[in-house]
Amino acid sequence: MLEPGELQVPGGGIPEELSQLARLALSGDEASGEQDASGAPDKTGFPDPVYVMAANIFQGIRIETSPEKLLIKYGSEPLRPAAGESEDESLQHLAYELAFSTLKYQGILETILIDSSIFPSTTIPDHLSSLIIVMLYDFQDRKFQARLFTDNQQCIVEVQEVENLLNSFKTKLAAALARYRIKHDALSIYHILPETVRNQERRASTLPLYAWINALKIRPEEVYHSLKKRGYTKVNTILNIGGKVFAVDQHCYDVLIFPSYLKSDLLNIDLFKDHKLIFQDKSRSLAVHSVKALLNVDDDILMVNTGSWYTVAHMSNLISKNSKIFVCGVQAQAKHPDLKKLFTKMGCKNIEILPESFLNIEWKDNRLQKVKVILLLPRCSGLGISNPVEFILNEHEDTDLLKDFSQGGTSEEKLRFLAQQQYEQLAHAMKFTKAQAVVYCTCSVYPEENEVVVKKALEFQDPGTKIQPYRLSPPVLPLCARREIHSSADKFFRMEPSEITNGCFLSVLTRERDPSETVSVKDVLARAAAKGLLEGIELGKSSKREKKKKSKTALPKAPTTDSKGIQTKIAEFLNRETNANAKRPLQPTTAKISPLQKSTIPVASSLQVRKPTKPAASPLVPAFMKNPSLPRPYERPSNLVRPRPEDKMVVLKPVEIVLPPVMFPLSPPPGIRPHIPTQHFYYGWFAPKTTMPGYHSTPIPRKAEKPKGNLPSSLRRHRRPWL
């Protein structure tokens, strides 16, 4: 054990150092007022096992220094943690927070250690260097006050040695810190950090808590009632409201929002202890709700790189019991040996973990033939996250991510590496022929990991397959604010990092629908129910309505012998009209077409208006466009009686033309030539219910049917049929 007397370094200028120490204490109060605005009590230190775990974490994520500038040597051997303490989640969280804070101030702390003559004057083993720098950060954060011990606290020899060393250099350390602040003209070392890091810390201190309701174990109404009994009040928004309040998220109906200062109280509630309420970042809830909106009945899901198992459990809450969730891209057995036990506690039964990595799974895998939607949560820079420690612990991300956060950005080389990985995974997901949609979600703010990856995958998708290609679809989530509508104009869903939410990027890719495919009513109703459009409607009655609708919209039967004879006579009439008009000399058209007539001509602009002296077959021919043997309207006279196969479907503008009734089976007396004034167009006619889309049909009155009395007066002027 190191003796403090052996580490004393003679020096002068103590009055000056004491003066700077006083200034340090004053500025320390100012700095703590900015960082600890939540009113947290004075810090008293951590248990010994936390320092050891934090030192080992820092050893793995510290920023390497070039050999010529290396003044402090770090050993390669980790410290041995206390038995059983490394599995304590609460201690793990404290250790990661301490290691990350030390990493952000690594350069400053190393300068203080050298300026105070702790390095290299003292003989300290290299493997204790990480422990010294971690404990130094906590020492200055406590304003160089002694650590408070609790009863039955476990003591570790290495921690006690380093603590005695730092206490013996207390004055010199405080003076070195003060000189560093004066040199950089900073009120505290907090102000020396990059602005991006300071903004991230500020957001992390106010970021609300998001928790989703485990519907497999409890109903939302029961959750509200339980919280109310605990003194919580349901409000529309938690912003600018104090006390014990909560609100329901606008994007995800099963997600509750709590103020950050209530976390310690919420963790002691049975709702969280019994896995009825689950803390998780909102971006993951947005991803699973997007998948739900795309699912049909009994569709399976493939989840890639999910990170947290709570994301898988949330997905299990939102799908039917007959659907199955396949999970790949994680090492379940190594990270969670009691994973099945966890899912059992949460009530999840439809989850299967695939041992292969995602890129090694073939699209022809028989296990995945019912997979219709793929959820891809690739590893990313994660710089849209405000609290990286929570993100790493909950999503089981690599601790190297903390290094990028401490520097306020990601290097270009690493960004290119991540973007290439993301593109390969997205391109592989688009090869699964049975899948109909891919949801791509990241927590990054870099376009290289978001829009660029998606657009590249769409551009280079394989055109040789017989399946329909993918296209970019609009967000399937509700857009609750004007800025969300504006940011989603290019069909991407974005949430910028703010004081109320972490950053999130979400893209939905769907296959273009095959015209030959038909979607069952069952699937349509299931998709509508997933979007909340069928509240209070029983889905079991849909099949009867569908059959009734099909019977109403069935194509008309072939015309009888009488109607065929009438159609023949009409064709002869059109031929006579054509021949008569062809013999007349051409005259310049001077008559003007009224606006009413113009609006009734749904033809392309390339067609020219014919002379008004012609009887214009337009009022007659549309009544028989269902028969391909009849001529099309608005064509050249020579082609009026020529049948064309493409006449089965006519694409028209959405203008409704209503024609006078034609009386069947009567035919016009011979020798009488009907005269059809071109100005007689009526718009008050109501089309029959059996009219097929894309056709203009003429209603055929039933035998001995009297005209209704509510018809327009202009229609009653025609006392006799037109034919």
The residues assigned a catalytic role are 443
Count of Cβ atoms closer than 10 Å to residue 615 Cβ: 20
Tokens of 195: 């602005």
CA distance 56 to 254: 39
Q: Which amino acid is at 677?
A: P
CA distance 60 to 50: 16
Q: Give the strand pairing for 371-376 and 300-304.
A: parallel
Instruction: Tell me whether residue 395 is exposed, middle or buried, using C-beta atoms within 10 angstroms of its C-beta: 0 to 12, 13 to 18, 19 or more.
Output: buried
Q: List Cα–Cα distances, 407 to 108, 200, 383, 400, 503, in angstroms.
A: 13, 11, 11, 12, 18
Question: By C-alpha distance, which of 156, 155, 176, 161 is closest to 122?
Answer: 161
Peptide bond into 194 cis (omega under 30): no
Specify whether the CB–CB gap between 59 and 128 falls below 8 A: no
Helix (H) or strand (E) holding 108, with range, is: helix 106-115
Question: By C-alpha distance, which of 456, 471, 399, 403 is closest to 426?
Answer: 456
What 8-state DSSP symbol labels residue 610?
P
Specify whether the CB–CB gap between 165 and 2 falls below 8 A: yes
Q: Give the strand pairing for 300-304 and 325-328.
A: parallel
SS3 642: coil
Question: By C-alpha distance, which of 447, 491, 458, 455 is closest to 473?
Answer: 491
CA distance 109 to 173: 10
* φ, ψ at 163 (rounded to 5°): -65, -40
Q: What is the DSSP string of 652-693?
A: --S---B-----SS--PPTT------TT--BS-----TTPPT
Calculate the CA dihedral of residues 405, 408, 413, 417 and round it to 10 degrees: 40
Q: Looking at the DSSP assignment, which residues form a beta bridge with residue 213? A: 277
Question: By C-alpha distance, which of 217, 144, 149 is closest to 177?
Answer: 144
CA distance 56 to 76: 10
